[in-house]
Amino acid sequence: MRDVVDTLQLAIQQAAELINQARHGVILTGAGISTPSGIPDFRSTTGLWKRYNPLEVATLSAFRYRPENFFAWLREIARDIHGALPNPAHQAIFNLQQAGYIHTIVTQNVDGLHQAAGCSQVLEVHGTMTTATCIRCYQQFSTRGILDAFLSSGDIPRCQDCGGILKPDIILFEEQLPYQTWQKAQQACRGADLIVVAGSSLEVMPVAGLPLLSVENGAPLIVINQTPTYLDVRATTVIHHNVAEILPRIAAQVLAQG
């Protein structure tokens, strides 16, 4: 047991030293950073894809041809996101960004918790739940009031002007990633002097390939995730642990050293 504790502490110290040397660090976050806030992930043994078939509820085709199924699935996600608050991992990233070590946050999450924690330079490569767009007139709306009504009634949200269905601005299967956001994410990773993966299993392409852009340019890689990833073998430091526990410990060491 003592050996396990010592090994973990050594890894935390090594990660802190790497971050302390960074001035253009990039962190890629996935569902694992939001599960401590009560938002379920998708691919774990208790994830959403154990209860839903993504091809039936989370594709662009499902939205177009079976919107009632799509919105029934979305309602469960929206309920969890609606009540969620940033956790210590989000706060740790904010602290590192404020101190100048992390420049850009690339996130696969759609919950807006990085922004709620005060972070800037957040690139939401899989879209966001904070806005929705009418499929008929293409007006974009904040989901703040719309979400309350949807959670209360379960009725499909519609545009107040033309009556078209409002599609949340999340990226579904069969959709392209938001072009400008994706270009910025690639640019940030290519220019990074450190890349941190936090709470992502790195199973969803093309986002899972972003850390390679940094590694191939010589940037060290830190992986913090409960389960192994395909890039563990390329990482300088790997910590298989809860990000909400580990990131604050790393951040505390970085800020103490800085």
Q: Please, what's the largest Cα pairwise distance for the chain?
A: 65
Q: Is 23 exposed, middle or buried (0-12, 13-18, 19+ CB in 10 A)?
A: exposed
Beta strand pairing call for 166-170 and 194-198 = unpaired
Residue 157 shares a structural domain with residue 240: no
Question: Distances from the Cα of 166 to the Cαs of 107, 140, 154, in angstroms?
Answer: 23, 9, 13
**CA–CA dist 245, 38 (Å, integer):** 15
Q: For residues 102 and 228, state if they share a domain.
A: yes
> What pLDDT was estimated at residue 53?
67
User: What residues pair up with 27 in beta bridges, in sequence order?
Assistant: 105, 196
Is 56 in contact with 214 (CB distance < 8 Å)?
A: no
SS3 content of the chain, % helix, strand, coil (to 5): 45, 20, 35
CA distances from 109 to 4, 31, 113, 230, 258 (A): 31, 6, 9, 20, 30
Domains in the chain, number: 2
Place of tokens 């739940």: 129
List residues with catalytic annotation: 126
Residue 133 shares a structural domain with residue 69: yes
Q: Which of residues 170, 189, 223 is at a domain's end?
A: 170
Q: Are residues 16 and 103 in the same domain?
A: yes
Contact (CB, 8 A) for 224 and 239: yes
Q: Which residue, chain included where needed, has tokens 């990233």? A: 93
CB 86 within 8 A of CB 39: no
Q: Are residues 133 and 191 in the same domain?
A: no
Q: What is the CATH number of the domain that holds 156?
A: 3.30.1600.10
Query: Residue 201: which CATH number?
Result: 3.40.50.1220
> Are residues 166 and 182 located together in one domain of the fold?
no
Q: What is the model's pTM?
A: 0.91
- Shared domain for 111 and 182, answered yes or no, is yes
pLDDT at 6: 82
3-class DSSP state for residue 43? coil
DSSP secondary structure code for residue 32 in this structure: G
Q: Side chain identity at 130, as an amino acid letter?
A: T
Residues 92, 30 share a domain: yes
Torsion of CA 245, 101, 126, 227, to 10 degrees: -40
If asked whether residues 244 and 205 sit together in one domain, one would say yes
The answer to whether 29 and 109 have CB atoms below 8 angstroms apart is: yes
Which residues on neighbouring strands pair with residue 222, listed in sequence order? 196, 237
The predicted structure's pLDDT at residue 42: 62
| pLDDT tens by residue, the chain, 258 residues | 555 558 899 999 999 999 999 999 999 999 999 999 988 766 555 556 566 666 777 899 989 999 998 998 888 888 888 889 999 999 999 999 999 999 999 999 999 999 999 999 999 999 999 999 999 999 999 988 888 888 888 899 999 999 999 999 999 999 999 999 999 999 999 999 999 999 999 999 999 999 999 999 999 999 999 999 999 999 999 999 999 999 999 999 999 986
Count CB neighbours of 67 within 10 A.
15
Instruction: Give the residue from 143, 170, 197 where a domain finishes.
Output: 170
Domain span at residue 114? Answer: 1-39+86-126+177-258
Q: What is the pLDDT of residue 94?
A: 98
Give the pLDDT confidence score for residue 235 in this predicted structure: 97
